[in-house]
Chains A and B, each alone.
Chain A
Amino acid sequence: MLSVTWLAIAAPLGSAAVLLLGGRRLDRWGHWLAVAASTTSAVVGVGVMADLLSRSDRAVQQHLFDWIPGGELEVSAGLLVDPLSVSFLLLVGVVGTLIHVYSVAYMEGDPRRRTFFAYLNLFVAAMLLLVLADSYLLLFVGWEGVGLASYLLIGFWNQNPPFASAANKAFVVNRIGDVGLVLALGLMFAHLGSVDFAGVFASAPTASEGVLTAIGLMLLLAACGKSAQFPLQSWLGDAMAGPTPVSALIHAATMVTAGVYLIVRSGPVYAGAPTALLLVAIVGAITLLFGAVVGMAKDDIKRVLAASTISQIGYMMLAAGLGPVGFAFAIFHLITHGFFKAGLFLGAGSVMHGMGDQVDMRRFGGLATLMKVTWVTMGLGWLAILGVPPFSGFWSKDRIIEVAFIGEGMKPWLLGGAALLGAGLTAYYMSRLFFMTFHGKGRWTEGQHPHEASALMTVPMIILAVGSAALGLIFAIGDSFVTWLEPVTGHVTHEDPVLAVPVIMTLTLVLVALGIGLAYRQYALLPVPETAPVASLAVQAARKDLYQDSVNSVLLEYPGQTLTRTLVFADAKVVDGAVNAVAAGTVGLGGLVRRLQAGRVRSYAAMMLVGVVVVLGIVILAINGKGWF
């Protein structure tokens, strides 16, 4: 299967092209073509992994074609197949396929379903290109492809202006991150002389720390944009405007994981730039608390999940920022998170489907008996994200918390404390979501008849729930996943954290139990008001995403607008003014001359005669002056 790795990208890409160009005649069966294309990617992923497991050399670089044979800059398009990229290939393939299947039912009745599937395929293809590329330049192509596809999907219902502007927001914020990646590419070419992974990593150890730090910071900026990390996190909440399967895809498999991938993939660069690495960890820590705080206050089920994604990605960034010791756990958590977050989102979609597109959790409640499959699958996802043993979140998140406590001085206490606190907050807001939705009294609006979704939707949910439940355990047995990733992350000897591992684990579980208990008392036992009650300033701030949009407005939007207005004013008055003055002068002159051209033949004759006399006079004067007579 190794030789046909390219098929994993080509199949969804070709399918997207067929669906977009094929027109309405594909409306009837086009979505199944998309599902088949995505399945192809998943199957190729499984085959490639099997091939890779049977080899001793677990990093295969495949040359596809010469891409930019331009003098000093020679880039060839190639694929890098190693444990890291194959993990992503499998995650994207499997989760993507499940979401495809789910979407067949979810988008039924939408007149543009075929287009939707074309975009989904494009999304998958771009993400696979991103993770399989063997150079930063080719990765950038996939990076932009993901940005484009997410823009198209978030704004899929763009007849609704807020949805369209949400898509614009995602696109613009992503552009900021893209600038970072472009600058990183330029720095690599200028100082390391290469943009492919092999070349960059080979020359990275010899480069100066300043260069590597600059590259690392630029890569971090790029990762922040794509992974919705602080301070570029604002787009992810609004990205809920897209159909729910899109949210699942963005949050679980594609898009937001790209930033983590980029950091982990660039490990050799960060190895020479400890400052940049520390900043990665700090950004991760801030983001995980930020997301958790916002998640506690939101009433919109999808926005709670979005905040939770921001928070969980923060965990991954934190782990990635801890260096090689954390890389493997970042990816580990990424994979498990991919499964349980996809499951949670599909569950949320199922709830919305049953409740007539209602998203306000205060109008849910008591759905456990009516939507049993959704209840069970979301329950498994909930336990997984909480990190309750033996579900998968426990195996990945607890390891990150442990690793965060490794180090000297203040750093382990701050980072570890943040991670520990985040776990407790996560437990609270996810339990809040779960109890508000499925337990307590039904607070439905009139005319709502909650019902379970069709098998096409429930089967993917069940599969994902099984993954959420069991995947962590499978990967954690004998550290199999960490070993599998070793060719990429390198073998790291485990230092002991500043607190003993059992202590950390106990603390975590206590905090989680505390969160669950609080949420249960507040939202399952006590009645939940149907409208959000007046709350303290802190809660109000959290409800408004901790004023992220206002901060952006004050810091970026208003100065930008002022600058633009000034430039427009200068352009209109100075540049255009000069141009217009010239034009007006010409028009005025024309108006003067026009009076001579009044269409009167005799005036023309008079002008002619006057001209003859004047010329004659000049000639005679000239001759006299020359003394020719």
Chain B
Amino acid sequence: MIPEDTVVDPMYFVVLATILFSIGAVAVLLRRNAIVALLGVELMLNASNLLFVAFARSHRDVSGQALAFFVMVVAAAEVVVGLALIITLFRSRQTISLDEPMDLRG
């Protein structure tokens, strides 16, 4: 049993997670290196995970932790596919810059 006054207000975790999420989003928007952008996405996922866990504790419901677990699994899958794409891109263009694939131009 932890005394209640020592418990951190979940509010703080919300603020922290929002800051991390925004940093991840800005990284995706501003960094040209595909791997860094991928890491930005990872940071956004982790920020949401932090919220899941914090709310799970706040609500005394372990489902939040289960969902955080699922997010990790999805993140793992996403990283695998993302890295495969990056490697294919690198093979065909010798670069992993996100500004390169201008073939998408409409």
Contact = CB atoms under 8 A, between A and B. Distances in A.
The answer to whether A and B interact is yes
A494 interface: no
Contact of A602 (B32, B105, B106): B32
Contacts of A602: 28-30, 32, 98-99
Nearest to A606: B29
Contact of B105 (A599, A605, A606, A609): A599
Interface string B66-106: 00000000000000000000000000000000110111111
Contacts of A601: 98-99, 101, 104
Nearest to A610: B29
A605 B29 CA distance: 6
A599 B25 contact: no
Given A602-B29, A605-B29, A594 B106 contact: yes
Contacts of B98: 600-602
Most chain-B CB neighbours within 10 Å: which of A601, A605, A606? A601
Nearest to B25: A609
A599 B99 CA distance: 8
Q: Classify the secondary structure of A's interface with B.
A: helix
A612 to B, nearest CB: 9
Nearest to B34: A601
A605 B41 CA distance: 11
Contacts of B106: 594, 597-599
B32 A599 contact: no
Contacts, number: 30
Nearest to B41: A605
Range class of the B interface residue count: 10 to 19
A216 to B, nearest CB: 71
A594 B104 CA distance: 12
Interface in A564-609: 594, 597-602, 605-606, 609
Contacts of B103: 599
B7 to A, nearest CB: 24
A602 B30 CA distance: 7
A605 B99 CA distance: 12
Contacts of B105: 597-599
28 contacts: A594-B106, A597-B105, A597-B106, A598-B105, A598-B106, A599-B101, A599-B102, A599-B103, A599-B104, A599-B105, A599-B106, A600-B98, A600-B99, A600-B102, A600-B104, A601-B98, A601-B99, A601-B101, A602-B28, A602-B29, A602-B30, A602-B32, A602-B98, A605-B28, A605-B29, A606-B29, A609-B25, A609-B29
Given A600-B99, A601-B99, A605-B28, 9 more contacts: A598-B105, A599-B101, A599-B104, A599-B105, A599-B106, A601-B104, A602-B28, A602-B29, A609-B25
